[in-house]
Structure formats: structure tokens, C-alpha cells
């Protein structure tokens, strides 16, 4: 170890800072996709079409039929911390929309070629803009960076090309397009189960049929049947549980004791955001051990609504980790409910076989 000669402290170039931040928010294509799905749902869309090439590294495109973006907003769309969703720190605690920090599009524009085509209901034409490093950019060198009027339907199409093109170490870390595509399909499936009233398709570029397709009017059970199969959908118990003391309510579907797979499938949404909780997963799996044969695991879809004042969503830019007050009590209440539902099904089954 050789000591460095002393140097003056300097501020990092803002572009370097932005690239570091982008790499923290978007580790793989699926993280960009999650943000884009949330944006489209925030915009009131009832149809989301997703197109993927090379596991999302070459192309990730999402077309929605939501409210669109006004032409005047295109200039600052990809500037970090620009958002139409909050304006004060206090707003953070009452936020009902998915995104809230105005970082997703900015980040994407720093590590990919981003194109936005959008039309509001009022606008006569759609507008198309290209972005690089947070700013409007020309489509080709020498052309104007100004948004161009094009023909188009109401809604927004976001095209992300060549993700990580300027982060070669990250780009090289991806070994398999198939793995990245599987993560994309998994995430799309989760939102397709959760977002009632919204239709989803997801397709690999060049393939004739969709890898996933859910109609806007499909019920939650239909959505689960479509994505996870009849084996799961035929064995579901509906779950509702709430407790004012802990400021939460939960609903969802869980499989009964007739169903068991090698690895459990846990779809968890907290305030309509797909998150992970290993604590909750472990507790629920523990609950099932008394009902399933050894090695059998459940399918769980849970939508939790927690008083936003009790949720700390500000822990990390990725927002994947969510903490809330009385976590233990909430988990216990959910597990108790699952246990009593499983026991009830067990009892009625015994009763049926006896009579």
C-alpha cells in the first residue's frame, strides 16, 4: 500500500455523480422495467404492452394508454428530482402513487438511449423526444434536439435502448439474456396479478406470440390462472385481514393444503408497490409447515395497505426495502389468519371424507 500524495478535494463532475446514482437504482433491466410499469399505472393506463430484446439490454419498450405528458414538460422530464407527484417533504408521507422521487427516467437517460413518444388527450399530435444524460438530445448527430411532432395515439411509449452502453463493466456482468428475460417476465407477472383493471402483454422481439398476456377485465383469480397455472388457481383461499391498532389492512389469495411446490412463490405489494420481505416470507412458510407435506411450499399473493405515515419508504433509492411500524404484529396477524383459514379448509375436507 503506497500512500497517495496529498491532493485537493474536488467536487465530482455531476455526470459522474448521476451515473453512479443511476447504477444504484438500476442494477438490471428488470429494475428499469419496474419503474416504467409503475409510471404507466400512475398515469391511469388500462393497457401496457412490453417489448423486450436481448433480455432488455438491447431494447425495453413499454407502450401505455394513460394520460400522456404535456409537451412543455418534455424539456425537464429527465432532469433528476423532477416529478409531478410530490412537491414537499411532507408529501412523502401521504403519497399514493408508486414513484415519488423523480429519479427513474433521469437515471435511465444516464445509462441508456431513451426515447419518449407521448400524447395527451387534449393535444392534436404526439411528441417524440430523445434523451441523454438528463437532457434532450438529437436523434442523430447534427439534428435538432427539440421534440418532434409525430402521429400517435393517446398515451406514452418509452423506449430504452442499449442499457449500460456506457457502463462496460456492468454490461459485461450479464451472462445470459434468458435470465434477464425471466426476471422481466416474473416482474410483469406480479404487476399483472396486482393491477386490477389493467391489461398486460409482454413479448420478445421477433417472436410471433406474447410470452404473457392478461386482459384488462380479468379477475384476480383469472390473472393467477393465466400466469401461474390452474394447479395454483384451483386451490386458492381468499384472504382479508386488518387491524386498526397497527394501521393496516391486507387482502389477497393463498393456496390451501392441497397445493405444494418445491419453492414458494411470494407476491408482496405494500401500498401497491412490489416489494420483498424475507421476514414475512419466513413467517408465512413456517405457518404452512403444519399443513403441507415436507418439502411442499405455498403460493402467496398479498396486497398490504399500511397507513403511509407508518411506512418508511425513504430508506434506499431502489425502494425495494420497505420498513413499517409494528412489523412483527402485522406479520403475526397475517399468519394467524392464514393458519385459521388453512385449518378451516382442513376440517371441511375431513368432514367431507367422513360423510
Binding site for ligand ADP (CB under 6 A): 35, 39-40, 43, 64, 66-69, 77, 83-85, 99-106, 156
CB of 93 to ligand ADP, least distance (A): 16
Q: Residues in the site for Mg ion, rule: CB under 5 A? A: 39, 99, 104
The alpha carbons of the chain give a radius of gyration, in whole angstroms, of: 23
Nearer to ligand ADP, 40 or 330 (CB): 40
Among Mg ion, ligand ADP, none, the one that 277 touches (CB under a kind-dependent 5 to 8 A) is none
> How far is the C-alpha of 137 from the C-alpha of 115, rounded, in Å?
10
Q: What is the DSSP letter of 180?
A: H
Question: How far apart are the C-alpha atoms of 175 and 161, rounded to whole Å?
Answer: 18
Q: Could you please report the per-residue DSSP string of 102-127?
A: S-HHHHHHHHSEEEEEEE-SS-SSEE
Q: What, of ligand ADP, Mg ion, none, does residue 195 touch, CB below 5 to 8 Å by kind?
A: none
Taking the complex as a whole, how short is the minimal distance between the CB of residue 68 and Mg ion, in angstroms?
A: 15
C-beta closer to ligand ADP: residue 85 or 171: 85
Is the CB of 106 or the CB of 163 nearer to ligand ADP?
106
Three-state secondary structure of 235-286:
CEEEEEEEEHHHCEEEEEEEECCCCCECCCEEEEEECCEECECHHHHHHHHH
Min CB(39)–Mg ion separation in Å = 4
CA distances from 333 to 1, 271, 284, 286 (A): 54, 18, 11, 14
User: Taking CB positions, which residue lies at the least distance from ligand ADP?
Assistant: 99
Which of Mg ion, ligand ADP, none lies near 33, with the C-beta cut-off 5 to 8 A by kind? none
Q: CB-based contacts of 352: which residues, under 8 Å, 6+ apart?
A: none
> Measured from the CB atom, is 105 or 322 closer to ligand ADP?
105
- Compute how many other C-beta atoms are within 10 angstroms of the C-beta atom of residue 266: 20
Least distance from C-beta 5 to ligand ADP, angstroms?
Answer: 41
The string over 230-253, giving b where at least 16 C-beta atoms fall within 10 Å of a residue's C-beta and e elsewhere, is eebbebbbebebbbeebbbebebb
| Residue whose CB is less far from Mg ion, 107 or 256 | 107
Q: How far is the CB of 191 from ligand ADP (least distance, A)?
A: 14
Euclidean distance between CA atoms 99 and 36, whole angstroms:
10
Choice between 103 and 235, CB closer to Mg ion: 103
Mutual orientation of helices 104-111 and 29-42 as an angle, nearest 10°? Answer: 140
* Closest CB to Mg ion among residues 99, 298: 99
Taking the complex as a whole, the smallest distance from the CB of residue 98 to ligand ADP amounts, in Å, to 7
Residue with CB nearest Mg ion?
99
The interface partner of residue 84, options being ligand ADP, Mg ion, none and the CB cut-off 5 to 8 Å by kind, is ligand ADP
Indicate the residue among 83 and 256 with the shorter CB distance to ligand ADP.
83
Write the DSSP assignment of 25-81 as a string of letters: H-SSHHHHHHHHHHHHHHTT-SEEEEEEEGGGTSEEEEEE-S----GGGGGGTTSTT
Least Å from the CB of residue 167 to Mg ion:
21
Closest distance to ligand ADP from the beta carbon of 197 (Å): 16
Amino acid at each position: 500500500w503506497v500512500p497517495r500524495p496529498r491532493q485537493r478535494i474536488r467536487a465530482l463532475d455531476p455526470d459522474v455523480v448521476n451515473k453512479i446514482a443511476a447504477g444504484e437504482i438500476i442494477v438490471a433491466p428488470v429494475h428499469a422495467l419496474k419503474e416504467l410499469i409503475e409510471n404507466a399505472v400512475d398515469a391511469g393506463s388500462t393497457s401496457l404492452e412490453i417489448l423486450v430484446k436481448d433480455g432488455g439490454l438491447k431494447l425495453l419498450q413499454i407502450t401505455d394508454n394513460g394520460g400522456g405528458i404535456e409537451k412543455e414538460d418534455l424539456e425537464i422530464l429527465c432532469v433528476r428530482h423532477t416529478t409531478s407527484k410530490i412537491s414537499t417533504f411532507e408529501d412523502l408521507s401521504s403519497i399514493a402513487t408508486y414513484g415519488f422521487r423523480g429519479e427513474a427516467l433521469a437515471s435511465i437517460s444516464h445509462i441508456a438511449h431513451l426515447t419518449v413518444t407521448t400524447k395527451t388527450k387534449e393535444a392534436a399530435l404526439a411528441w417524440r423526444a430523445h434523451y441523454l444524460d438528463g437532457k434532450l438530445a438529437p436523434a442523430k448527430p447534427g439534428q435538432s434536439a427539440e421534440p418532434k411532432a409525430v402521429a400517435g395515439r393517446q398515451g406514452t411509449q418509452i423506449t430504452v435502448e442499449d442499457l449500460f452502453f456506457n457502463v462496460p463493466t456492468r454490461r459485461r456482468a450479464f451472462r445470459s439474456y434468458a435470465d434477464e428475460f425471466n426476471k422481466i417476465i416474473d416482474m410483469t407477472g406480479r404487476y399483472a396479478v396486482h393491477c386490477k383493471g389493467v391489461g398486460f402483454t409482454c413479448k420478445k422481439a421477433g417472436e410471433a406470440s406474447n410470452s404473457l398476456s392478461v386482459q384488462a377485465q380479468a379477475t384476480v383469480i383469472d390473472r393467477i390462472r393465466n400466469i401461474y397455472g390452474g394447479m395454483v388457481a384451483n386451490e386458492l383461499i381468499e384472504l382479508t385481514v386488518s387491524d386498526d391498532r397497527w394501521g393496516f389492512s391486507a387482502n389477497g389469495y393463498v393456496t390451501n393444503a392441497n397445493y405444494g411446490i418445491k419453492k414458494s412463490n411470494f407476491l408482496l405489494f405494500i401500498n401497491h408497490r412490489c416489494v420483498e420481505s424475507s421476514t414475512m416470507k419466513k413467517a408465512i412458510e413456517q405457518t404452512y409447515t403444519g399443513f403441507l407435506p415436507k418439502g411442499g411450499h405455498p403460493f402467496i399473493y398479498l396486497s398490504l395497505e399500511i397507513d403511509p405515515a407508518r411506512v418508511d419508504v425513504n430508506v434506499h433509492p431502489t425502494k425495494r426495502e420497505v420498513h413499517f411500524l409494528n412489523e412483527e404484529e402485522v406479520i403475526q396477524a397475517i399468519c394467524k389468519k392464514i393458519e385459521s383459514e388453512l385449518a378451516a379448509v382442513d376440517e371441511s375436507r375431513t368432514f367431507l371424507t367422513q360423510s
